[in-house]
Structure 1
Amino acid sequence: MPGTILGGRYQVQDKIGTGGMATVYRGLDEVLGRTVAIKTMLPQYASDPSFAARFKQEAQAAAALQSPYIVSVYDWGKDADTYYIVMEYLRGTDLKSGIRKHGALDCKKVAQIGSQIAQALSVAHKHDIIHRDIKPQNIMVQPDGNIKVMDFGIARAKNSHLTQDNSVLGTAHYVSPEQTQGKELGPTTDIYSLGIVMYEAATGQVPFQGDDAISVALKQVNEQPKPPSQLNPAVDPSLESIILKCMQKNPAARFQTADELYHTLRDYLAGRMQAVNSATAMLAAQATNKIDRGAGVQPVTSGTASMPRVERTNRYRAQSATEQAAEEEAARQRKHRRNVVLGVIGALVAVAVAAFVVISALQTGAAMRPVPNLIGMDQEEAIDKIRESGFEVGDVKTTYSAEYEEGKVVEQSPTSTQTAEEGSKINIRVSSGESPVDKVAVPDLKNLTEEEAMDRCEEYGLLGRKGEDQEDGNIEAGKVCAQDTEPGEMIARGSTITFHLSSGAGTVDVPDVTGHDADSAESDLAKLGLVVKRDYAHSDGDAEGTVIRTDPAAGTSVEEGREVTIYISLGPEPVETVTVPYVIGYSYSTASSMLSSQGFVVQLAVGSSANGTVIDQSVYNSATYGATITLTTQSETTGGGNGGGSETGDYGNGGQTDPNTGTDTDSGETNANET
Structure 2
Amino acid sequence: MEDALNLLDGLDIDIPDEVLAGGGEEHASSTAEFFGPYHLIQEVGAGGVARVFRGRHIHPRYAETTFAVKILHEQLSRDPQVLNLFRHEAYVLAMLNHPNIVKTFEAGVVDTELFIAMEYIDGRDLDDMVSRCQRGRIKIPISVALHIVGETLKGLAYAHDLADADGNRLALVHRDVNPANVFLSYDGRVKLGDFGVAAIAAGRVEKSRELAGKVGYFAPEQLAGDKVDHRADIFATGVMLYEVVCGVRLFDASDADKVMRLNRRAKIPKPSKVHSNLPLGLEEVMLRALERRPADRFSNAREMLAALASFLPDSASMPLAVGAMMRKVFLREHVVELQLREGLAGIGRDRGSGQLISLYSCDERAQAAFNELLLSRGYRVETHATCDTLAASVAGSNAPAMVLVDVCSEGFSVEAVNGAVGHTQRAVPVVAFSDGLELEWIRAAHAVGAVDLLFKPFNVERVLTSVRAAVTGAVRLQSGIDSHRESIRQVKPKVLLISSDLDLSTRLSTDLVARNFDVDVSPDSVEGIERSHHSSYQAVIYDAHPTSPADRLFAGQFRSQPGIGLVPIVYLADSEARSLFAGVDADRSAVRIRNDPAVVLVETINRLRADVRLGRTFVRYTTEFPVEMRFGGQVFAGEAIDISRGGVMLRCDQMLPIGTAVGFRLRPQGFQPIEGNARVVRVDLPGKAEETKAGIGVEFESFFRKGETDLIAFLGTLDRTPPRRQTVILGAPPPRK
User: What TM-score range do you get, normalising by the shorter chain?
Assistant: 0.3 to 0.5
Higher helix share: 2
TM-score (norm 1): 0.44
Structure with the greater alpha carbon radius of gyration: 1
TM-score (norm 2): 0.41
